[in-house]
Structure 1
Amino acid sequence: MVLILLLQRCIQLLILPVYLLSYLGLWDPLCKKIFPYIMAKCSTQYNRKLFQQKQDLFSSLREFAGPSGELRLLEIGTGTGTNFQFYPPGCRVTCTDPNPNFERFLLKGVTESSHLQFERFVVASGEDLRPVADSSMDVVVCTLVLCSVRSIEQVLKEILRVLRLGGALYFLEHVAADHSSWGYFWQQVYYPSWKLVFDGCYLTRETWKNLEQTNFSEIKLRHIHVPLYWTPVQPHIIGYAIK
């Protein structure tokens, strides 16, 4: 524990200007503006690393289309729209993100995804999806979102509300490493500074437990290791849960 605290302080010293900006109340608005640019760069590499896993995951989306054959999909924390390429043609997509600065990047993704039907972009957090009606969605997609929300439980409650009976939540999230591993050790070291720099991202959440404790009728979940070398976000969970 002493070693972890010592290493945390070393990292904090390295990014001292960020901590000073945070203390002055200037970092959060600045982070909200620059974070979309960071994600636009990182998401390209991330998609390359997980292209096959994402393609396999989303290949079953059509199975959850409604009686009319249409697939109504809500993506929470859409960001730059990196998942659009994996959605089936004709899918009706509603996008949400709590950060309005993502909209310009999202619009670029929309123009490059003519195979989809875009309904609207809503500035909303995952904990409060009031603009989305009850039981109005066939599928909800959540990738790299539950790591940074204030309450996973509330987000999952909202997801269950907007999903129709028999609809599904598709997820891909980085999670805590095994507690006995070096990976978990370094997650604890990086955690305070990582959370500050990456807009509230938690490194040590055991998100699979939240999913298992939620009232889904069926969960198909796998733990995978993503080769994002020199980062503390290699352990992931991937799968879907049916309402």
Structure 2
Amino acid sequence: MENFMNIYTVTVAVAIATVLIWTFKGLIYRKLYTRYSAWILNRLTVSLDTAYVSHKKRLFQIVEDYKNRQNGDLKILELGVGAAPNLKYVPDNSEITLLDPNPHFTKHAEENIVDARKRLKSVEWMQGVAEDIPSQSNTFDIVFCTLVLCSVVDVKKCLSEIHRVLKPGGMFVFVEHVAAEKNTWKRFVQTFMDPVHYVLYDKCSVIRDTETYIRASSLRDFQIENFHSTLYYWITPSIAGIATK
């Protein structure tokens, strides 16, 4: 009887907790989870940047070459800026807009933004999502993101918005971890880890076939490199590249 009462008490407690979490999930996400996400992803910023540094440098050299061909300074948009570790790669005298849905990243990005303002024309922070970019069409020379398309809600809508805000001839620059090939051991591990990543890292999916989405978009002239990063085993498959409008 005592065991039954213990089980009953635990069951009721779990049921009540579940109902409360479900009822107030919006408030919990806004007040607590967004703070946690900014904190944990900021903690990972250095290791993530280091894992992709060579590919970022190569891509931003292409951006620099594009600037020289344009014979003028660039207007740039970064999606999912996080703690803003990519600002150091941006060409001098650029005007850059930083877009992120999580307002709690601003304090983590502050130091990088202050440093960037010493050599860039302007640095503007905007809160928003990549599926609904709060900018006019044909605005930016460059749109770039790193490790962002893994966590957007609607990849197709995001890519459509990127195409919309790019100027004709403008470039989309990206570095992303992606799904491993199907029917491989790594893909099996990814499938197992995917729910964990979704919860711990703000909707991050490790089984998203991002390259297929990019190639199916309205962008063109794809230059995409497949490689393996130095991150955890289940998120090493990666792509880096550019596409143009």
1-side partners of 2:212 and 2:97: how far apart?
27
Secondary structure of the residue aligned to 1:60 is helix
What's the offset of the Cα at 1:33?
Answer: 0.4
**Alpha-carbon contact 1:144-1:173 (below 8 Å) kept:** yes
2-side partners of 1:61 and 1:92: how far apart?
13
Q: 2:165 aligns with which of 162, 167, 182?
A: 162
Pairwise mapping of residues 54-93 of structure 1 onto structure 2 (< 5 A)? Answer: 54-65=56-67, 67=70, 69-93=72-96
Corresponding residue number in structure 2 for 1:122: 126
Corresponding residue number in structure 2 for 1:214: 217
Amino acid at match of 1:147: C
**Alpha-carbon contact 2:225-2:239 (below 8 Å) kept:** yes
Amino acid at match of 2:175: L
Unaligned runs of 5+ in 1: 1-15
Corresponding residue number in structure 2 for 1:191: 194
Question: What TM-score do the two structures reach when normalised by structure 2?
Answer: 0.85
Unaligned runs of 5+ in 2: 1-13
Q: 2:176 aligns with which of 173, 176, 182?
A: 173
What's the offset of the Cα at 1:27?
Answer: 5.1
Corresponding residue pairs, total: 224
1:13-63 Cα offsets, whole Å, 9 max, x none, are xxx9xx969556265232210211212221101222222121111111123
2-side partners of 1:186 and 1:33: how far apart?
28
Corresponding residue number in structure 1 for 2:29: 28
What's the offset of the Cα at 1:112?
Answer: 2.1
Secondary structure of the residue aligned to 1:173 is strand
Corresponding residue number in structure 2 for 1:47: 49
1:188-212 Cα offsets, whole Å, 9 max, x none, are 1111222112111111110100111
What's the offset of the Cα at 1:171?
Answer: 0.5
1:62-84 Cα offsets, whole Å, 9 max, x none, are 23338560111000111100111
- Distance of aligned partners of 1:57 and 1:211 in 2 relative to their CA distance in 1, 3 Å threshold: same
* Identity across the alignment (%): 29
**Alpha-carbon contact 1:71-1:139 (below 8 Å) kept:** yes
Pairwise mapping of residues 101-116 of structure 1 onto structure 2 (< 5 A)? Answer: 101-113=104-116, 114-116=118-120
Amino acid at match of 2:241: G
Which structure has greater helix proportion?
2
1:153-192 Cα offsets, whole Å, 9 max, x none, are 0011111111000000000011101112211111111112
1:101-136 Cα offsets, whole Å, 9 max, x none, are 11112222111222223341110100001x211101
**Structure whose CA Rg is larger:** 2
